[in-house]
């Protein structure tokens, strides 16, 4: 089977998320890294691209040059990953979708709900994939939680509790550090800081696992470091469209917490608990029975879990392998389209532009509610009401 061709915008040398994408896309041999515009400094991007093995004529200086260079090629890239800073996602994603490329965009997909709606409409009109990198939904045991909920192991879902709380912006002495400051500046970050950066991962995971979307929310947002305009901590109460209640905490001042993405799901027949820092164990307590530890890689888990487990039981699997599972879904989707067949349903789980749009609506709802002492507001994008 011929390899698919993959390109990347952003993710230059020293970037936070670039290496995880390259590891994830390269893992299965489905994608060949073929083109890139990796850095906001054209020369640095060209040079780094070639060091990573790109041909000189496909190590581009910026994304427009890459779009022009790739669109006319017979061997043009099959998928473009957008891993640049947030404010650039919309125009780059829009440009590549319009030119007929499949796109995997980093989160948050856009800066406004209107832009999100435009991307959803564009993906639908062009028939191109626009995936959004809620990469943590690629973990095998997250997929297994989803399968357990879908097959009814927990019965009706009563409550979901999601957290994404870290302590990396907790030092008030660091508040003026330029690498930190922009995140809390509305001119650069938009209407929300911590919720838009991390809270949307927790919300996406909650929705993904329980199969319900946020309908209403009420938010308490605070800037614990007083010089900040945008929130560094938020507690959000939610009501989902299938009847579940949601509690979501996100923070960047939680000293001692490292990454801090966790999910608990409580149904009428049992409860689940999973933490991203120990992703290879899932705690399952059926009502009236003993607590059980489900290990990733165990026999007889769901097909969704089996498909996404990569190394044998008892050996650690982590974040780049979760990203690899998103890329594996996308490789299957692109190949199925090329071959004119239906894709494997167990792979049809990658997050979509619709998810990116729902996140944007939630970001604006959190900001609105947070400014109005927690008034309940509609959490849905207008086009899904
Ligand atoms: P970063 O600041 O560490 O790196 C950004 C990279 O993009 C740099 O190499 C920079 O030179 C390059 N760049 C900037 N503007 C560019 C342009 N116009 N064209 C080409 N390259 C450009 O940022 P980081 O932390 O890697 O974040 C990038 C994106 O990934 C953000 O949207 C962030 O929210 C998202 N992210 C997602 C995560 C996830 O789990 N899904 C985790 C961390 C970040």
Where in the chain are the domains?
Answer: 4-136+348-355, 139-310+356-378
**Cα of 376 from ligand 1 centre, angstroms:** 33
pLDDT of residue 175: 81
pLDDT of residue 177: 87
Helices (H), 168-263: 178-181, 186-189, 194, 200-210
Probe target for ligand 1 pocket from 20, 54, 83, 356, with the most ligand atoms within 8 Å of CB: 83
pLDDT of residue 153: 98
Split at pLDDT 50, 70, 90, the class of 81 is: very high
Which residue has a Cα nearest atom 31 of ligand 1? Answer: 85
Which residue has a Cα nearest atom 10 of ligand 1? Answer: 39
**Cα of 175 from ligand 1 centre, angstroms:** 21
Instruction: Ligand 1, residue 134: give the atom nearest the CA.
Output: 41
Portion of the chain with pLDDT greater than 90, in percent: 97
* pLDDT tens profile 28-44: 999 999 999 999 999 99
CA proximity to 176, closest of 248, 103, 228: 228
CA proximity to 104, closest of 276, 334, 346: 334
The C-alpha atoms of residue 236 and residue 221 are separated, in whole angstroms, by 8
Mean pLDDT score, 57-86: 97
**Cα of 299 from ligand 1 centre, angstroms:** 38
pLDDT of residue 136: 98
Which residue has a Cα nearest atom 4 of ligand 1? Answer: 15
The C-alpha atoms of residue 213 and residue 122 are separated, in whole angstroms, by 22
Class of domain 139-310+356-378: alpha beta
Which residue has a Cα nearest atom 14 of ligand 1? Answer: 40
* pLDDT tens profile 102-122: 999 999 999 999 999 999 999
Probe target for ligand 1 pocket from 9, 13, 17, with the most ligand atoms within 8 Å of CB: 17
Which residue has a Cα nearest atom 38 of ligand 1? Answer: 17
**Cα of 82 from ligand 1 centre, angstroms:** 8
Q: In the CATH scheme, what architecture does the domain 4-136+348-355 have?
A: 3-Layer(aba) Sandwich (3.40)
Q: Which residues contact 173 (CB under 8 A, 6 or more apart)?
A: none
What is the three-state SS of 96-124? HHHCCCEEEECCCCCCCHHHHHHHHHHHH
Split at pLDDT 50, 70, 90, the class of 370 is: very high
Which residue has a Cα nearest atom 1 of ligand 1? Answer: 15
pLDDT of residue 174: 86
Split at pLDDT 50, 70, 90, the class of 176 is: confident
Which residue has a Cα nearest atom 25 of ligand 1? Answer: 16
**Cα of 208 from ligand 1 centre, angstroms:** 24
Which residues line the pocket of ligand 1, CB cutoff 6 A? Answer: 9-12, 15-18, 37-40, 62-63, 83-86, 88, 106-107, 133, 135
Helices (H), the chain: 18-26, 42-51, 63-71, 89-98, 113-126, 140-150, 178-181, 186-189, 194, 200-210, 303-308, 319-339, 353-371
Probe target for ligand 1 pocket from 51, 106, 198, 279, with the most ligand atoms within 8 Å of CB: 106
* pLDDT tens profile 321-350: 999 999 999 999 999 999 999 999 999 999
CA proximity to 145, closest of 85, 211, 93: 211
Instruction: Ligand 1, residue 92: give the atom nearest the CA.
Output: 18
* pLDDT tens profile 89-104: 999 999 999 999 999 9
């Amino acid at each position: 089977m011929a390899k698919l061709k993959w390109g990347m915008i952003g993710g230059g040398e020293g970037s936070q998320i670039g290496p995880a994408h390259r590891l994830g896309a390269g893992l299965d041999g489905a994608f060949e890294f073929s083109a890139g515009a990796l850095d906001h400094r054209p020369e640095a991007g060209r040079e780094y691209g070639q060091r990573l093995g790109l041909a000189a004529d496909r190590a581009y200086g910026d994304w427009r040059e890459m779009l022009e260079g790739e669109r006319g090629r017979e061997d043009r890239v099959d998928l473009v990953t957008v891993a640049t800073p947030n404010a650039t996602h919309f125009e780059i994603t829009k440009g590549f979708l319009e030119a007929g490329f499949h796109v995997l965009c980093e989160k948050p997909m856009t800066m406004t709900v209107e832009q999100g709606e435009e991307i959803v409409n564009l993906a639908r009109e062009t028939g191109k994939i626009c995936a959004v990198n809620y990469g943590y939904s690629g973990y095998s045991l997250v997929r297994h939680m989803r399968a357990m909920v879908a097959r009814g192991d927990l019965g009706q879902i009563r409550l979901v509790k999601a957290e994404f709380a870290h302590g990396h912006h907790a030092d008030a002495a660091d508040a003026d550090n330029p690498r930190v400051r922009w995140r809390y500046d509305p001119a650069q970050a938009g209407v929300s800081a911590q919720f838009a950066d991390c809270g949307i991962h927790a919300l996406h995971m909650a929705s993904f696992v329980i199969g319900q979307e946020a309908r209403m929310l009420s938010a308490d947002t605070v800037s614990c470091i007083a010089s900040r305009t945008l929130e560094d901590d938020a507690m959000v109460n939610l009501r989902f469209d299938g009847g579940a209640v949601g509690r979501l905490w996100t923070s960047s001042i939680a000293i001692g917490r490292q990454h801090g993405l966790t999910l608990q799901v409580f149904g009428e027949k049992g409860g689940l608990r999973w933490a991203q820092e120990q992703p290879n164990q899932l705690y399952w307590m059926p009502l009236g029975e003993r607590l059980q530890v489900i290990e990733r890689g165990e026999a007889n888990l769901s097909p969704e879990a089996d498909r996404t487990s990569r190394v044998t039981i008892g050996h650690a699997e982590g974040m780049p392998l979760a990203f690899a599972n998103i890329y594996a879904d996308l490789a299957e989707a692109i190949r199925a389209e090329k071959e004119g067949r239906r894709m494997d349903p167990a792979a049809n789980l990658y997050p979509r532009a619709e998810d990116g749009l729902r996140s944007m609506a939630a970001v604006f709802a959190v900001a609105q509610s947070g400014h109005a002492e927690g008034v309940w507001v509609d959490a849905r994008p207008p086009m899904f009401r």
